């Protein structure tokens, strides 16, 4: 079975071009979505992936309709591989049913892995350089006086957590962490 997925970024854009191409390609079921590709939580994409069974083919009009980043594209393609599902991107001429399509897809995967490795190396090098200059990273520690003030307000039982965090400027998590620490002492 061929299952298609079409997406546009905004509600006023039309899916017609993609839908026509997916139908022409023989898609029996098509999932559509009108939301940004940058969002990780795309319910219709999730439904399309759930509907796929081994031997099915997943079809998109273009790769950028499926994912905005190489990383996300790689994640989806790994899911397809695990499910033993073929993949077609109509406009990008990628069809994993063919040797050339599998080659192109493999090259995309290698490039994505390379991109992840480069980002990781740069991040580690940046952290190392910062540490060499005496910077450890992370968030700065909360002002102990403000934390104590927040605990005092909390103990008074006159204020809500929101009122306490607004008044002291410390975060909710910091307050809860201080309460937990005090309880353990």
What is the set of active-site residues?
9
In what order do the strands lie in the sheet containing 94-95? 29-34, 2-8, 57-60, 86-89, 94-95
Give the burial class of 59: count Cβ atoms within 10 A of its Cβ; 0-12 exposed, 13-18 middle, 19 or more buried. buried
119 DSSP β-pair partners: none
Sequence-distant contacts of 40-46: CB under 8 A, at least 24 apart: 40/72, 42/7, 44/5, 44/7, 45/5, 45/7, 45/76
Please list the helix, strand and coil fractions of the chain in percent, rounded to the nearest 5, in that order: 55, 10, 30
């Amino acid at each position: 079975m061929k299952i298609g997925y079409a997406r546009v970024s905004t509600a006023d854009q039309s899916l017609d071009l993609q839908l026509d191409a997916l139908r022409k390609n023989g898609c029996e079921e098509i999932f559509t979505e009108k939301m940004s590709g940058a969002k990780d939580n795309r319910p219709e994409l999730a439904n399309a992936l759930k509907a796929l069974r081994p031997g099915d083919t997943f079809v998109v009009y273009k790769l950028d309709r499926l994912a905005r980043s190489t990383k996300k594209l790689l994640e989806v393609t790994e899911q397809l591989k695990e499910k033993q599902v073929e993949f077609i991107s109509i406009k990008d001429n990628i069809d994993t049913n063919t040797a050339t399509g599998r080659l192109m897809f493999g090259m995309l995967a290698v490039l994505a892995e390379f991109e992840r490795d480069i980002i990781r190396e740069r991040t580690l090098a940046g952290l190392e350089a910062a540490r060499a200059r005496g910077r450890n990273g992370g968030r700065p520690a909360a002002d102990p006086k403000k934390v104590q003030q927040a605990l005092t307000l909390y103990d008074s039982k006159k204020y809500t957590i929101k009122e306490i965090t607004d008044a002291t400027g410390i975060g909710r998590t910091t307050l809860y962490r201080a309460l937990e620490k005090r309880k353990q002492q």
